[in-house]
Amino acid sequence: MAKRHALVTGAGSGIGRAIALALAADGHGVSLCGRRAAPLEAVRDEIAKIGGEAFVLDGFDVTEAHSVEAGIAKAIAHAGDIAVLVNCAGEAPSAPFDKTDLALWNRVMGINLTGTFLVTQAALASVKRAGKGRIVNVASTAGLTGYAYVSAYCASKHGVVGMTRALALELARTDVTVNAVCPGFTDTPLLDGAVETITGKTGRSAEEARATLARVNPQGRLVTPEEVADTVLWLASEKATAITGQAIPVAGGEVLGG
């Protein structure tokens, strides 16, 4: 493959897709991980159109250790050691706390937090071997503050930030850095779920609901997936060698500091 091997989970849409495209445009060979083949193949075709190279790893379930281990092994066999690992797979269902049942709680924790743990643990030896390794976890401003009606999501993303900081210190004497990016409300398919919840509860139009979410950002707009991808691309570069253990908000000033 090309310059360096990057592996991105949740690469089929939204922020994960934008990150995969940005890494490919920068010369990385990209392993695209997700459960369904069709969206990953669409991203692979987009990457091919810009002259990049990508490898589809469908059936990649971040909640299943055996699936993760098999997928990581396949990616390494195909493209060599993983120099850049981006954990982007995630889910953000909404429910009041007293209606958040154990099944919902476990599902969100399994994907967002345990999934990040499983993928990172399975890939870590390879990241170390690659040299100048980079691990970037896509968390959320919900990992830095609280929001009503998404207690499971907030808890899981706080966990991702905590794990990021702990692992960064463990690896500080190596050449591997570990950071999190924390997007605010971002214009992705995942946001559509929040829009549907608002319209269902308030009767507002989808346009009004999106405007409500945009107003949370002091810049008065939604973050774009490409802005998140640009931050990941910087963290993956040699320009960010001294940056580790950080949780970087990409949110227009909504959350100050990490």
Q: Is 152 in contact with 94 (CB distance < 8 Å)? A: no
What's the rounded Cα separation, in Å, for the pair 166 and 164?
Answer: 6
Contact 216, 185 (CB under 8 A): yes
Q: What is the DSSP string of 173-229?
A: TTT-EEEEEEE-SBSSHHHHHHHHHHHHHH---HHHHHHHHHTTSTTSSPBPHHHHH
Residue 153 designated active-site: yes
Catalytic one of 28, 61, 113, 153 = 153
* Sign of the four-CA dihedral 162, 165, 169, 172: positive
C-beta of residue 250 within 8 angstroms of C-beta of residue 219: no
C-beta separation of 60 from 35 below 8 A:
yes
Residues recognised as catalytic: 153
